[in-house]
Amino acid sequence: MEQYLNQNVKEIEISGIRKFFNLVQGQKDMVSLTIGQPDFHTPDHIKASTKQALDQNLTTYTPNAGILDLRKAVSNFVKTNYNLNYHAEDEIIITVGASQAIDISLRTVITPGDEVILPGPVYPGYEPLIKLAGGKPVYVDTRENQFKLTAELIEKHITKKTKCVILPYPSNPTGVSLDQQELQDIADLLKDQPIFILADEIYSELTYEKPHTSIGSFDEVREQTLIVQGVSKSHSMTGFRIGFLLGPQALIKHILKVHQYNVSCATSTSQYAALEALTNGRKDPKIMRDAYLERRNYVIKRLEIMGIEVIIPDGAFYVFPRLVPSSQTSFDFGLKLVEEARLALVPGDAFSDYGQGYMRISYAYHQDILKEGMDRLESFMKDQ
């Protein structure tokens, strides 16, 4: 019966990140710097609120868009932190993680044949969702532009079929962000055009030298912009699967229909955990952010000592150095690194063809693990 399956589904492959992670999982004496999973435990007060929700039998369906108190907390959170103005009643949906927010957004705005512009290299989760919605991903080479998808690059790729531009900043895998002026230029370019903006800002609380700026704060593109947020990275709550989708009422009312038939609602107890995170856990991200900054600086310093080319990331917890000889693919280089150095990094070509030649290092790991990983990388590079 396999031959009768949806061809779009059959053509999708497992994420290169997971493929490589699974390849090294369980191997002895292996240092893995692969997964973007915070190594902090979920704060105790958030776990306590989850237990309380269970004890109070808050385990039933919630409104499709999520409990109103949580949507109010999200509204207040993004207003305070990012100068975003979204009404809790009809402009916010609580989703099953950021991934579901991206999925239902793309399924709502894309019709077969539409083109979606996105930077390369980029997180591999967007392309399959674009294709499942019948769209075509249009990658923009950002390697010579500090990995930034700027207005100038976007304009060169706009056609009559362009329906959406994805802005995933701070970026996975590069860690770079767009500044105020770069976002203003994009807003000036796309305003009044029939093109949606999907801004994946899941790492917005993990920025370093400067605070995050959201494209949603520019009034001229507000009505065509959808913002993806969540607590997975900011509060180390990846398993709770809570994301937020914010957008103008005219768009959210239609996306809510897709969400309703897709999952009904996000998990009730996880929603109460997220409510606690956004009300009494405002300082939680800072503790993690300070640790990540220290780790980032350590990894960058070690790479620079090795003479390895790297762009210093503004946020998230990844660096994306150019490591791979031109004679090898990133995947083959990664295999060699595993076999000879017992070190696992994610091959850059998992993030589109424009990641070829690079490797992603996650520094969401304890300092001791990072040191051992960098020691092994340095020894390996000396032998090449």
Query: Would you kindly state where each structural domain of the chain is located, as residue ranges?
Result: 2-42+284-382, 44-280
Q: Taking CA 234 as the corner, what is the angle to CA 231 and CA 239, rounded to the nearest 5 degrees?
A: 50
Provide the pLDDT confidence category of residue 6 given band limits of 50, 70 and 90: confident
Amino acid type, 367: Q
Please state, in angstroms and rounded to a whole number, the distance separating the CA atoms of residues 140 and 151: 11
Question: What is the model's pLDDT at position 93?
Answer: 98
Q: Mean pLDDT across the chain, nearest whole number? A: 95
Q: Do the beta carbons of residue 35 and residue 24 sit within 8 Å?
A: no
User: What dihedral angle (degrees, nearest 10) is formed by the CA atoms of 255, 256, 262, 263?
Assistant: 140
Q: Do the beta carbons of residue 365 and residue 33 sit within 8 Å?
A: yes
| 3-state SS assignment for residue 347 | strand
Question: What is the model's pLDDT at position 22?
Answer: 78
In this predicted structure, the answer to whether residue 75 has a pLDDT above a threshold of 90 is yes
Tens digits of per-residue pLDDT, 288-345? Answer: 999 999 999 999 999 999 999 899 999 999 999 999 998 899 999 999 999 999 999 9
Domain 44-280 has CATH 3.40.30.10: no
Question: What is the model's pLDDT at position 13?
Answer: 78
**Confidence (pTM):** 0.95
Tens digits of per-residue pLDDT, 215-252? Answer: 999 999 999 999 999 999 999 999 999 999 999 999 99
Amino acid type, 184: Q
Please state, in angstroms and rounded to a whole number, the distance separating the CA atoms of residues 272 and 50: 6
Question: What is the model's pLDDT at position 27?
Answer: 77
Contacts of residue 103, defined as CB under 8 A and 6 or more positions apart, other chains included, come to 129, 262
Please state, in angstroms and rounded to a whole number, the distance separating the CA atoms of residues 220 and 187: 7
Please state, in angstroms and rounded to a whole number, the distance separating the CA atoms of residues 150 and 105: 22
Question: What is the model's pLDDT at position 85?
Answer: 97
Mean pLDDT of 172-195: 97
Tens digits of per-residue pLDDT, 20-58? Answer: 777 777 778 899 999 888 999 999 999 999 999 999 999
> Which of 80-84, 164-168, 306-310 is the least confident region?
306-310
Tens digits of per-residue pLDDT, 104-160? Answer: 999 999 999 999 999 999 999 999 999 999 999 999 999 999 999 999 999 999 999
Question: What is the model's pLDDT at position 275?
Answer: 98
Q: Do the beta carbons of residue 84 and residue 91 sit within 8 Å?
A: no
For the record, the structure tokens of 32 come out as 């893995």
Question: What is the model's pLDDT at position 3?
Answer: 84
Mean pLDDT of 168-189: 98
Provide the pLDDT confidence category of residue 383 given band limits of 50, 70 and 90: confident
Domain 2-42+284-382 has CATH 3.20.20.140: no
Same fold, 2-42+284-382 and 44-280: no
Question: What is the model's pLDDT at position 230?
Answer: 98
Q: What percent of the chain has pLDDT over 70?
A: 100
Question: What is the model's pLDDT at position 23?
Answer: 75
Question: What is the model's pLDDT at position 44?
Answer: 98
Question: What is the model's pLDDT at position 284?
Answer: 95
